[in-house]
Structure 1
Amino acid sequence: MPAQTSHKPPEPAPGAAPADLRADARRNRARVLDAAREVFSAQGVDAPMSAVARRAGVGVATLYRRFPTRSALVTAAFEDQLAVCATAFEEALADPDPGHGLYTLLEKVCATLVTDRGFETVFMAGFPEALDYDRERAIAEDRLSLLVQRARDSGQLREDFDPADIPLLLLAVSGLATQPPETALPAARRLLTYLFQSFQAHPPSRPGPLPPAPALDLSGLHRPAERPQRPPAAPLAAATRGTDRGPRPRRPARSAGR
Structure 2
Amino acid sequence: MSAPDFGSPPTDADAPMQRADAQRNRQRILAAARDLYAAGGLGVPMAAIARAAGLGKATVFRHFSTTSELIEAVFTEKMDAYLSATRVALGESDAWQGFVDYITMVCGMQATDRGFADVMITTFPGAESFEERRREAYEGFLAIIERARGTGALRADFVSQDLILVLFANAGVVSATATAAPDAWRRLLAHLIRGFAAPGVDVKLLPPPPDDEALSRAMARAAPLGTRDDMPAHHR
Assess same fold via TM > 0.5. Answer: yes
- Mapped to 2, the partners of 1:131 and 1:117 lie a distance apart of 22
Q: For residue 104 of structure 1, report the CA deviation from its aligned partner.
A: 0.9
User: Where does residue 88 of structure 2 map in the other structure?
Assistant: 91
TM-score w.r.t. the length of structure 2 is: 0.71
**Structure possessing the higher relative contact order (Cα contacts under 8 Å, 6 or more residues apart):** 1
Q: Judging by fraction of residues, say which structure has more helix.
A: 2
Judged with a 3 Å threshold, the aligned counterparts in structure 2 of structure 1 residues 41 and 147 are, in CA distance, closer, same or farther, namely same
User: Where does residue 192 of structure 2 map in the other structure?
Assistant: 195
Gaps of 5+ in 2: 1-18, 226-236
Q: How does 1:147-158 map to 2 (within 5 A)?
A: 147-158=144-155
User: Where does residue 31 of structure 1 map in the other structure?
Assistant: 28
Q: Does 1:79 align with 2:76?
A: yes
Q: How does 1:1-258 map to 2 (within 5 A)?
A: 22=20, 28-40=25-37, 45=42, 48-130=45-127, 135-177=132-174, 178-180=176-178, 183-184=181-182, 186-204=183-201, 207-215=203-211, 216=215, 217-223=218-224
Judged with a 3 Å threshold, the aligned counterparts in structure 2 of structure 1 residues 176 and 204 are, in CA distance, closer, same or farther, namely same
Judged with a 3 Å threshold, the aligned counterparts in structure 2 of structure 1 residues 223 and 82 are, in CA distance, closer, same or farther, namely farther
Q: Encode CA deviations 1:201-245: one digit per residue, 9 max, x unaligned.
A: 13446x543322123221244459xxxxxxxxxxxxxxxxxxxxx
Gaps of 5+ in 1: 1-20, 225-258
Q: Encode CA deviations 1:49-107: one digit per residue, 9 max, x unaligned.
A: 33321232201232233334433321221222122112212111222222111111111
Judged with a 3 Å threshold, the aligned counterparts in structure 2 of structure 1 residues 46 and 170 are, in CA distance, closer, same or farther, namely closer
Q: CA contact under 8 A between 1:40 and 1:118: conserved in structure 2?
A: yes
Amino acid at match of 1:124: I
TM-score w.r.t. the length of structure 1 is: 0.66
- Mapped to 2, the partners of 1:27 and 1:180 lie a distance apart of 31
Judged with a 3 Å threshold, the aligned counterparts in structure 2 of structure 1 residues 80 and 134 are, in CA distance, closer, same or farther, namely closer
Q: CA contact under 8 A between 1:145 and 1:163: conserved in structure 2?
A: yes
User: Where does residue 4 of structure 2 map in the other structure?
Assistant: none
User: Where does residue 8 of structure 2 map in the other structure?
Assistant: none
Q: For residue 29 of structure 1, report the CA deviation from its aligned partner.
A: 3.4
- Mapped to 1, the partners of 2:92 and 2:86 lie a distance apart of 10
- Aligned to 2:181, what secondary structure does the other structure show? helix
Q: For residue 183 of structure 1, report the CA deviation from its aligned partner.
A: 2.4
Q: For residue 37 of structure 1, report the CA deviation from its aligned partner.
A: 3.0
- Mapped to 2, the partners of 1:131 and 1:46 lie a distance apart of 21
- Mapped to 1, the partners of 2:129 and 2:166 lie a distance apart of 23
Higher mean C-alpha displacement, 32-41 vs 100-109? 32-41
- Mapped to 2, the partners of 1:131 and 1:175 lie a distance apart of 27
- Mapped to 2, the partners of 1:209 and 1:123 lie a distance apart of 27
Question: Quick check: which has more Rg, 1 or 2?
Answer: 2
- Mapped to 1, the partners of 2:85 and 2:180 lie a distance apart of 23
Q: CA contact under 8 A between 1:42 and 1:118: conserved in structure 2?
A: yes
- Mapped to 2, the partners of 1:182 and 1:39 lie a distance apart of 19
> % of aligned pairs identical?
36
Q: CA contact under 8 A between 1:114 and 1:181: conserved in structure 2?
A: no
